[in-house]
Amino acid sequence: MGSIMFLVVLVVVAAWLIGAYNGLISLKNQTLNAFKQIDVQLKRRHDLIPNLVNAVKGAMEFERSTLEAVIQARNQAVKVNATGPEGIKQISQAENALSSALQRLMVVVEQYPQLKATGNIGQLQEELTSTENKVAFARQLYNDTATQYNTKQQQFPTNVVAGLAKAQPADLWEIDDQAEKAVPQVDLSMKPKV
């Protein structure tokens, strides 16, 4: 009787171990996959930027510095060849710089209605918005999945199996960009911007 009880307990523990282990492995792979998705979207963005700059270059001679900042930030971002969740800090820094450069450009484009009216700037704008959103959503999915993975491997009792599954806490994609962090300023004075 005692040995049967022992056997039952053993089977239950083994079943739980297998379940917890597989759960962690599945989350790990989901995290990796979510990271790949960010990579795909960043690549798309890098490919789109030269097109965008070409489209607005003629009409925006006088905004040369804004355009150059975008190109520079893009080249910087392409150069970073860190891969995998380990290199996330490096990549995110370069990409955040690119995001804020692009944001400045979009603000500038908004200020020139004649630019928006001509040609396919409207379409390009849509493409850019979409690309930015895709990057943001890919990041969001990665952060959500990674948080789930991290929580799982730290929580008791799953943390017992974490070593066995070679689970390491995944770095989250941080937004350490000033433009994105800053509280939006509301200015109702209607004074011309300097």
> What residue ranges bind other proteins (CB under 8 A)?
30, 34, 37, 41, 122-123, 126-127, 129-130, 133-134, 137-138, 140-141, 144-145, 147-148, 151, 183
Tokens of 24: 């962690």
Tokens of 78: 């392409």
Q: How far is the CB of 50 from other proteins (least distance, A)?
A: 20
Q: How far is the CB of 144 from other proteins (least distance, A)?
A: 4
Of 6 and 137, nearer to other proteins (C-beta) is 137
Give the Cα separation of 94 and 116 in Å (integer). Answer: 28
Give one word for 182, left, alpha or beta, with left for phi > 0 and alpha for psi -120 to 50.
Answer: beta
Of 122 and 169, nearer to other proteins (C-beta) is 122
Q: How far is the CB of 125 from other proteins (least distance, A)?
A: 10
Evaluate whether 56 touches 175 at the Cβ level (below 8 Å).
no
Of 76 and 172, nearer to other proteins (C-beta) is 172
Give the Cα separation of 145 and 172 in Å (integer). Answer: 10
